[in-house]
Amino acid sequence: MKPENYFDNAATTPVDPRVIREMLPFLETNWGNASSIHGWGREAMHGVDQARQRVATLIHAADPSQIAFTSGATESNNWVLDWARRSNAGGPQSGLAVSPFEHSAMLEPAARAGAEMLESRDLMLLGKSDSYFFVSIMAVNNEIGTEFEPGDFRDNTEFLHSDKTQVVGKLGYGLDPLDFASFSAHKFYGPKGIGGLYVRDPQTLSPFILGGEQEGGLRGGTLNVPGIVGMGAAAAIAQDEWQGNLAETQEMRAIVLEAIRPCSDYQINGGENVSPYILSVSFKDLEGETIVIEMDQQGFAISSGAACSSRSTDPSHVLTALKMPTNWLRGTIRISLGAFNTRESAAVLGKSLTETVKRLRNLGIT
Ligand code: PMP
C-alpha cells in the first residue's frame, strides 16, 4: 500500500512523521500526568501549553484559553449540543437548529436534544431570518465538500457553532462570527482520538464530562498528553504548509477531473463552492461500493461516502437531502485528497477510475 495512493483523507489522514517525532518524548520520557506539580508533571504540562498555543494560532483564536481539548469532533459536537439543550431557557431567541447536511456526530446529539432541522433548497439553507438560541452549521461537508457560511445565521442566533473538522489545517478561515467550533487532529495529519472545541467565552460553557479539574474544570479526565502534543505539532506544520498544500490539492483535483472526462453519465456533486480536498462523483446506474472495491484491488483507497457510515447500507442522508435519484445516489464515490498524494498518483487514480467505470459498464455490472 503506497501512501500516495491513499485518497480517503476526509476519513482520516496519514500521521505526519514529524508529528510522531514530537509525540515520542511524551511517551518515552515525559510521560507525567500534566496535573501533577512535580517535574514530570510540569514537563507534560509544558507540552500541553505549547500545543494549546499552536492550535490557537492555527485557528486564529484570540487566546489559548479558548481551546478545550477533547477526544475529537464527535465529543466536541456532543458537548456543545448538550450545553445548548441545558441552557436554552426559552427567551426571545429560543430553540436549537442544525443543518440537514451535518455529520452524524452532530445530527444524532441534535435529534436527542430535540433540535429542529433547518430546511434547505438544493444546497441552500433556509431559515436565516428565524430567531434561535443555538444554531450549528458545518463549514465543509465531509461527503460532498460543499462549503457553508455559518455567519449567515449570526444576526438571529444567540450562540453559533460550526463543525470545522474538514477545514482546520486545510483551508484558511476566520472564527469571527462563531461562538464555538469543533475539530479533530486526525483530519490534518495528527493522531486519532484527540481534537478540540473552540469556545469564544469559556465562562459561558459548563462541563459535559465530569470527574476532575482538568481544562479549567470544563472537561474531566487525565489529559491525553501525547495526543495533545501531536495535535499541536500538526497545527504548527499546518500553519506553515496549508497554503502550499491547498494549491497542490487544487492542481491534483484538476488532474483527476481531467482524467475522468472520458467517462459517460457522471456528475460532480457539491455545487460551486466546494472544498478542493473533497471530490464527490456519481456514476449513473453503477454501485459506488463496487467501484471502491475494484479500486482497492488496484491499490487505491477511495470511499463510497463517509467512513463512519460506509459499513451501513442506508443511503447517505446528505445525498438524500439533495433529492438525488436513487440510480445516481447509489453510484456515488468520494475521492478525498491530502498532502501525501502526488500529481502522478492523482493522474493514475483518474485513469484507473475511468477504466474501472468503463469495464463495469461493459460487463453490465451495476
Ligand atoms: N464532523 C465531521 C464533519 C467529520 O468529517 C468527522 C469525521 N468523519 C467528525 C465530525 C467526527 O470526527 P471524530 O471521529 O474524529 O470524532
Grid cell for residue 149: 457560511
CA of 35 from ligand 1 middle (Å) equals 28
Cα distances from 291 to residues 43, 71, 150, 168, in angstroms, run 49, 33, 34, 29
Considering the domain architecture, whether residues 199 and 311 belong to the same structural domain is answered as no
For ligand 1, the distance from its centroid to the CA atom of residue 250, given in whole angstroms, is: 23
What local confidence, expressed as pLDDT, does residue 90 receive? 74
Say which of 308, 312, 326, 365 is annotated catalytic: 308
Output the pLDDT for position 309.
55
Number of domains present in the structure of the chain: 2
Take residue 346 and report the three cell numbers written for it.
492523482
pLDDT digit of tens for each residue in the chain (366 aa)?
A: 899 999 999 999 999 999 999 999 999 999 999 999 999 999 999 999 999 999 999 999 999 999 999 999 999 999 999 999 999 877 777 899 999 999 999 999 999 999 999 999 999 999 898 999 999 999 999 999 999 999 999 999 999 999 999 999 999 877 779 999 999 999 999 999 999 999 999 999 999 999 999 999 999 999 999 999 999 999 999 999 999 999 999 999 999 999 999 999 999 999 999 999 999 999 999 999 999 999 999 999 999 975 555 556 677 899 988 889 999 999 999 999 999 999 999 999 999 999 999 999 998 766
pTM of the model: 0.96
Q: Helix H segments across the chain? A: 17-23, 25-28, 39-59, 73-87, 104-112, 225-259, 288-297, 317-321, 326-329, 343-363
**Residue at a domain's end among 218, 238, 258:** 238
Q: Ligand 1 pocket: which residues have CB below 6 Å?
A: 72-74, 103, 105, 138, 142, 163, 165-166, 184, 186, 195, 306, 308
Q: Are residues 321 and 177 in the same domain?
A: no
Question: Which of 71, 137, 142 for a ligand 1 pocket mutation test, highest count of atoms within 8 Å of Cβ?
Answer: 142
134's enclosing H/E stretch is strand 132-136
Residue 337, C-alpha cell as written in the block: 485528497
Range of the domain at 289: 3-11+242-363
Cβ partners under 8 Å of residue 352, min gap 6: 295, 298, 300
Boundary residue ending a domain (190, 215, 238): 238
* HSE-up of residue 288 (Cα within 13 Å, Cβ side): 26
Give the pLDDT confidence score for residue 93 in this predicted structure: 76
Question: Could you say which DSSP state residue 217 is in?
Answer: G
Q: Report how far residue 307's alpha carbon sits from residue 178's, in angstroms, rounded to the nearest whole number.
A: 27
Supply 153's cell numbers.
445565521
C-alpha–C-alpha distance, residues 43 and 256, integer Å: 46
Answer yes or no: 308 catalytic: yes
Query: Does residue 90 sit in the same domain as residue 216?
Result: yes
Which pLDDT does position 188 carry in this prediction?
98
Q: How far is the CA of 210 from the centre of ligand 1 (A)?
A: 23
224 and 279 belong to one structural domain: no
Among 193, 211, 238, identify where a domain stops.
238
pLDDT for 89 equals 76
| Burial tier of 151 (Cβ tally within 10 Å: 0-12, 13-18, 19+) | middle
| pLDDT confidence of residue 313 | 62
Q: What is the pLDDT of residue 161?
A: 98
Residues 187 and 268 in one domain: no
What separation in Å is there between the alpha carbon of 73 and the centre of ligand 1?
A: 5
Return the ∠ at Cα 181 (arms to 72 and 48), rounded to 5°.
Answer: 55
CB of 140 closer than 8 Å to CB of 279: no
Same domain, 230 and 258: no
